[in-house]
Structures are given as structure tokens and as C-alpha cells.
Amino acid sequence: MSKKPQDGVESDDAHAMPRLDVGRLGDLLGFHLRMAHVAIYRDFAETTADLALTQKQLAVMELVAANPGTSQIDLAHTLGTDRATMMALVNRLAARDLIERRPSSADRRRQELHLTKEGRAMLTRARKLIDIHEQRFVDLFSLAEMDALLAALKRIYEER
């Protein structure tokens, strides 16, 4: 059972971990964004472990579900990754028969991405788990706080 920090030490009975003074880091936006990201990432990984899919892979599946026929280049641009990384992500999903590539009827050089039947079923399973995961963090905020937080975060990445 976890106790409140006392004299710089947090105790969970058998394991005492020192709580470091974060110093100047405590005033840095990037530090707090990183710490929040780590907390959310760990919870996501634990919640969705049985799916054996990463956050990026599930993001790709969500984008393909919302935009059938999209391209790897469009996905890479939306997620802020390079083409090689996106190709590797799509290759892994295709190897699991979750996404398929189809030639475009409008431009033979372009390949369109679509979820397979298995991909749609996996995404349905994933969404249920993601909703549980997401709710744990959304519940920390009022509706107004959540709206403000999302608006503030979007301002950071949409302004760049």
C-alpha cells in the first residue's frame, strides 16, 4: 500500500523509492508533457497488452477506418512520421492481415489502404479497451477542463 512521501521517500512497504527534487524541470512544459505521456503510455500498454498492437499501429488503423483508401504518405503526414516508418507500420499490420493495400483505380502508382475483415474486428475490440483506458484519464478533469486541455495541446502542435 502506497503512503504519502515523507522526508523525500515514497514507501510501498517493501520498496522505498527516493523522490528526487525535480529542480528546474518542474517549471518546464516539456517535462510535464513527457511525464503525462509516460503515464498515459504505460496505462495504454497495460490495457491493450492482449492485442499486441502499439499506439501508432492503432492510430493507423483508426485513420484507415475513418479514411478508407488513404495512402501511406497521407498517414505519415497526419501522424508526423517519415515514409519509411509508416511503411514499416503498415507492413506489420498487413502481415497480421489487419490492413490491405489495393491499387488505386485513379492513379496506378498509388496504393490505397483498407482495413480487412480481421482489421475491423480487431479495431472493435481495441476501441472497447481504449475507451476504458481513456476514461481513467478523462475522469481526472471536468468537462470544461478537458475541453481547455485539448484546446491547449492542439495549439502546441497545430501552430508548428
Q: Does any domain span residue 85?
A: yes
Domain of 57: which CATH number? 1.10.10.10
| C-beta atoms surrounding 138 within 10 Å | 13
Q: Does any domain span residue 109?
A: yes
Q: What pLDDT score does 160 carry? A: 67
Q: What pLDDT score does 108 carry? A: 79
Q: Does any domain span residue 6?
A: no
Q: What pLDDT score does 14 carry? A: 58
Q: Does any domain span residue 17?
A: no
CA distance 91 to 111: 13
Q: Does any domain span residue 67?
A: yes
CA distance 160 to 83: 20
Which regions of the chain are under pLDDT 50? Answer: 1-11
Q: Find the domain containing 119 and state its range.
A: 26-158
Q: Does any domain span residue 62?
A: yes
Q: Does any domain span residue 15?
A: no
User: In the chain, how many domains are there?
Assistant: 1
Q: Does any domain span residue 13?
A: no
